[in-house]
Structure 1
């Protein structure tokens, strides 16, 4: 299915005879969410190779036994008695990401988020976002994507775990409905939106499968859900900067996803279909990180939630030193830095 080639499939107004989901369909979404709520990235400190952890993660994503383990089933498929895990006892997005991602909110908005702008523009072109589109930016951060959508006439709503980032988003989109909250519990009614995007957000939710099922719930039948994640890490320059902080981070919690958990196309499609979505086109976008000088680069790279965690563990100097070392090979003759980065996008239908 190629969404980009079929103009009519991208008309985002609501049809007069809108189909209403049945209770059975909603139950199916919940079941799918339960089966996919564990997306984990495992870094192997023994071999010091992120790739091995990525491959282990992808194997689990394809394994029904591994997926069901998130609800209390033994990973090795033994006869161990199931112990259902209540959703409310699992870590939420606010619990995991709220404070850390807001720690350097202005550095993120002024420097690091600029590297995502080409992705936002390309996705909105792909789905033919237009005036009047009811749009939800799930994990909106500092609101650059929301701002672009609002400038194009969309009716913008957004949600993020970090209130400091959301304060910037509200200044950028004063007429938007922007709220602090969990991706796993979206505070919006069923079938509210024509378009929902998750720009590098769903895989970082406390419960990714639940978060995506919520995105489907609030999207009208036939509406678009766009999942944007990191591209394949092999050969990506930006991946080396993400890996630079691994020695400074504690082991990830058992249910914590990692940056490349959905980079594999099969894993990404499975993630979407298991949430009850119709997976369509997958495409990659280049979006390089550019910094005028080392000081700017260190501020930008140090503004992420991952960097905030490393700073808590080992201090600012250690994080700056790790980033500076990894940046060395990307320095240009004029003292600026350009690092290639890519993102993988999936267009899906609710």
Structure 2
């Protein structure tokens, strides 16, 4: 097995990923998950989510998109690798079918859904997850995946560079593999190769606001990519570096306004 193959496989151990993303579940759910609101609303419009929709959210986190889907009258289901996030998602969505598990082995029968979404859950190297999503999607059903883009604004860049500087060296290769989905045409090729016909690419500006530095740190440090740095380096050192990177996001009133290019691609199951 080549080094490249090792780099692409390691980040996709679903239990390892769940451990990372669930390490600070309450902060993630309350302080960070709403970063995706603009993209979720755009995706729902493009996939025509309504009372007639059976929707699956792959890597559903703490269930924000499921809650919004349920509000439209859709019948929602979700899966995530983090048990602590699943607990919150189930509390938020008592009528949804929410499972703990791997996006590479979905526990639903063929043709179960007419919409599948994944909000920053399927990244570079996750082609097998798209094949599995197609299996549970009805013929003609739609899929939408979102991810961070390379455009502006890009407040994440400074924070993630700070995490990278304090993380183990082997973490960097896996992050590059995951993030290559932001390169032009990569997401479209992944979807096409998995059996989908791409019909839309779009973007929104993700915006989150925090009233002070402490809440900004709690929010940012709740993301999965923070974990290698927090476990490798004194967390107070990591915190100082991240807050320094966030200074440019602080307005005259002291509010931290965190803005990022949020891309998404929508496709249809050709089977």
TM-score, structure 2 normalization: 0.91
Length, aligned pairs only:
266
Residue 187 (structure 1) aligns with: 107
Residue 335 (structure 1) aligns with: 254
Q: Is the 8 A contact 2:39 2:264 kept in 1?
A: no
1:116 aligns with 2:36: yes
- Alpha-carbon offset, residue 100 of structure 1: 1.3
Pick the aligned partner of 2:120 from 174, 186, 200. 200
Residue 231 (structure 1) aligns with: 149
Q: Is the 8 A contact 2:78 2:97 kept in 1?
A: yes
Report SS of the residue matched to 2:134. Answer: helix
Q: Is the 8 A contact 2:153 2:205 kept in 1?
A: no
> Could you report, residue by residue, the CA deviation over 1:130-157 in whole angstroms, capped at 9, with x for unpaired residues?
0031100000000000000011111111
Give structure 1 stretches of 5+ with no counterpart: 1-71, 76-83
Pick the aligned partner of 2:209 from 287, 290, 313. 290
> Could you report, residue by residue, the CA deviation over 1:188-245 in whole angstroms, capped at 9, with x for unpaired residues?
11111100001101117xx501111111111111000101111125652222222221
1:238 and 1:138 map into 2 onto residues whose CA distance is 23
Report SS of the residue matched to 2:141. Answer: strand
1:316 and 1:293 map into 2 onto residues whose CA distance is 19
Residue 200 (structure 2) aligns with: 281
Q: Is the 8 A contact 1:129 1:149 kept in 2?
A: yes
TM-score, structure 1 normalization: 0.71
What RMSD, in angstroms, separates the aligned Cα atoms of the two structures?
A: 2.3
1:145 and 1:324 map into 2 onto residues whose CA distance is 29
1:315 aligns with 2:226: no
Q: Max radius of gyration: which structure?
A: 1
- Alpha-carbon offset, residue 339 of structure 1: 2.2
Pick the aligned partner of 1:349 from 246, 258, 268. 268
Q: Is the 8 A contact 1:209 1:275 kept in 2?
A: yes
Alignment of 1:128-207 (within 5 A): 128-203=48-123
Change (3 A) 1:298 1:149: same
> Could you report, residue by residue, the CA deviation over 1:34-69 in whole angstroms, capped at 9, with x for unpaired residues?
xxxxxxxxxxxxxxxxxxxxxxxxxxxxxxxxxxxx
Pick the aligned partner of 2:171 from 247, 252, 258. 252
Q: Is the 8 A contact 1:92 1:182 kept in 2?
A: no
Change (3 A) 1:198 1:93: farther
1:229 and 1:116 map into 2 onto residues whose CA distance is 10
Pick the aligned partner of 2:134 from 201, 213, 216. 216
Change (3 A) 1:91 1:238: closer
- Alpha-carbon offset, residue 332 of structure 1: 1.0
Give structure 2 stretches of 5+ with no counterpart: none
Q: Point out the structure with the larger strand share.
A: 2
Residue 9 (structure 1) aligns with: none
Change (3 A) 1:107 1:255: closer
> Could you report, residue by residue, the CA deviation over 1:63-121 in whole angstroms, capped at 9, with x for unpaired residues?
xxxxxxxxx5898xxxxxxxx99xxx977442331111111000000001122222212
Moved over 6 A (4+): none
Change (3 A) 1:285 1:112: same
